[in-house]
Structure 1
Amino acid sequence: MTFSVLARDPETGELGIAVSSCILAVGRAVPSVRPGVGVVAVQARSRRGLGTSLLAGLADGASPDELVKRAAHSAEDADRQIAVLDATGRVAADTAPGSFPVSGHVLGDGWSVQGNMLASTDVLPAMAQAFVAAGGGLPDRLLAALTAGQDAGGDVRGRQSSALLVVGADPVSDEDDGVRMDLRVDDSGDPVAQLRMLRNLQRAYDERDYDTLALFAPEGARDLYAALAASRRGDRAAARTALEALSTRPGWSAWLASMAGDARLAGVQRLLG
């Protein structure tokens, strides 16, 4: 009922998973991730707590292969499908004999793709090929694989939800929870495309791409980003117009006053001054 890809970035040590399915809120059901420990996909009719147990096993020093073999011997999980990746890039997967056809998994160097109730046998090879060929950071490579899986047919029942999670290489600390990306589409007619859009929006926030945010941020904040984009270009008239529009929105005048010391807005004020 689901197809997913999990991987480790050999350069940064980041761990991640992307998943899509024709169920509501697949991001709640399939992925389990712990920074500095590993990432797990629990699919088909696996027990809901299995992801937590597998991550605990990784944290205790068990290898992915050991954990998958243990789970494979559990008679109550005849419809189980799991994949386990640890912080060093070791990976193992198992598709139980009772899993829904078409089902299977493909393992690579620090990554795996897996799925069940797929539209065709082309889905997993397409995902594997796309992941290996893709450039960019881990989120983009995961999304490339997920997109290829959807383009090859994806879930035979249709489309509903997707998720993308990426965490850092180091364990959680008081200063850093380790989460690098946590995006979810819980109910959509085209969840993979929607997930790609969210990824691009997250990139715009991270990189302070104000021109993009002026178009795609929530409507109430677009004038702010338009002002910042105009300030970056040195366009005084456009910055003034955007700030004037922003100040007409209820509550924004007080917010602008409270943000007088913000370095980004200081640049706008200098331009207008």
Structure 2
Amino acid sequence: MTFSLVARDPESGAFGMVVTSSSPAVAARCVHLRAGIGGAASQNITNPELGSKLLESLESGTAAGDAMAKLLATEPDTEYRQLSLVDNQGGTAAFSGTNTLGTHRTVEGPGAVAAGNLLSDAAVVDAIMDAYASAPGEFEDRLLAGLLAGRDAGGEEGPEHSAGLVVVDKVSWAVTDLRVDWVEEDPIGQLADVWKLWQPQKQQYLTRAVQPNAAPSYGVPGDL
């Protein structure tokens, strides 16, 4: 039903996540990122609160592995959850409960966790991690390379309908927050198209927020 990648960029310290699912608006429920703190994915039979709790634990100074262990020891119904976590040192943790749906797998790499459930094949998750680790380009390019590789390796058991790409860096809001909340076919491909549109404007929108006197004009009615 869902596959994802959450990672810390070793060069910038940014955190990012890509995710896709057969259900609508998957990024709204499953993506949890906090600049300077970490990234968490909460998926399968999703409880979004768990992502927030994992990040709160990281913010208190707990490492990823200990934060995951603490949550699993205190939360009910964890047998239904699939969780990924990356901290600000690049530490990782992953968990799939006994009631995780269908074929499922998690893979931990340096500063990254790939995870999926109800997959066409467990190797989908390995393809995500391998492509992310070897792809060139910006952080978002590499995250998307992982998601596209997961799609091309077989993806979910059924069709995907939504996808998201989110990155947080040195400000409190997401510097990239792109979503395809429902399409009949290939939300990952459509998400990649939206990134191509956003990529050359990303820095300009950040400048508008933090240094408006240097912001570029977009040439639209009413623009500065």
| TM-score normalised to structure 1 length | 0.72
User: In the TM superposition, what whole-angstrom CA distance separates every residue of 1:155-196 from its partner, at most 9, and x where no partner exists?
Assistant: 21211100001011x4xxxxx434220001000121100100
Structure 1 consecutive aligned stretches of length 4 or more whose deviation exceeds 6 Å: none
Find the aligned partners of 1:64 and 1:101 in 2 and give their Cα distance: 26
- SS of structure 2 residue aligned to 1:78: helix
Find the aligned partners of 1:121 and 1:50 in 2 and give their Cα distance: 24
Percent of paired sites with the same residue: 33
Q: C-alpha displacement at 1:63, in angstroms?
A: 1.3
Residue in structure 1 matched with residue 212 of structure 2 by the alignment: none
RMSD: 2.0
Residue in structure 1 matched with residue 199 of structure 2 by the alignment: 203
Give the structure with the larger helix fraction: 1
Does the alignment pair 1:190 with 2:186?
yes
Find the aligned partners of 2:77 and 2:172 in 1 and give their Cα distance: 34
Q: Specify which of 164, 167, 175 is matched with residue 180 of structure 1.
A: 175
Residue in structure 2 matched with residue 21 of structure 1 by the alignment: 21
**Aligned ranges 1:106-255 → 2 under 5 Å:** 106-168=107-169, 170=170, 176-188=171-183, 189-206=185-202, 255=221
Find the aligned partners of 1:34 and 1:99 in 2 and give their Cα distance: 26
Q: C-alpha displacement at 1:152, in angstroms?
A: 1.1
Tell me: higher relative CO, structure 1 or 2? Use CA pairs within 8 A at least 6 residues apart: 2
The answer to whether the 8 A contact 1:47-1:77 is kept is no
The answer to whether the 8 A contact 2:43-2:81 is kept is yes
Give the structure with the larger strand fraction: 2
Q: C-alpha displacement at 1:2, in angstroms?
A: 0.5
Find the aligned partners of 1:105 and 1:88 in 2 and give their Cα distance: 20
Does the alignment pair 1:62 with 2:62?
yes
- Which residues of structure 2 form unaligned runs of 5+? 205-216
| TM-score normalised to structure 2 length | 0.87
The answer to whether the 8 A contact 1:80-1:96 is kept is yes
Find the aligned partners of 2:146 and 2:107 in 1 and give their Cα distance: 12
The higher radius of gyration belongs to: 1
- SS of structure 1 residue aligned to 2:178: strand
Find the aligned partners of 2:17 and 2:126 in 1 and give their Cα distance: 17
What letter is aligned with 1:202? W
What letter is aligned with 2:178? L
What letter is aligned with 2:88? A
Find the aligned partners of 1:110 and 1:167 in 2 and give their Cα distance: 15
- Which residues of structure 1 form unaligned runs of 5+? 171-175, 209-223, 229-251, 263-273
Q: C-alpha displacement at 1:207, in angstroms?
A: 7.2
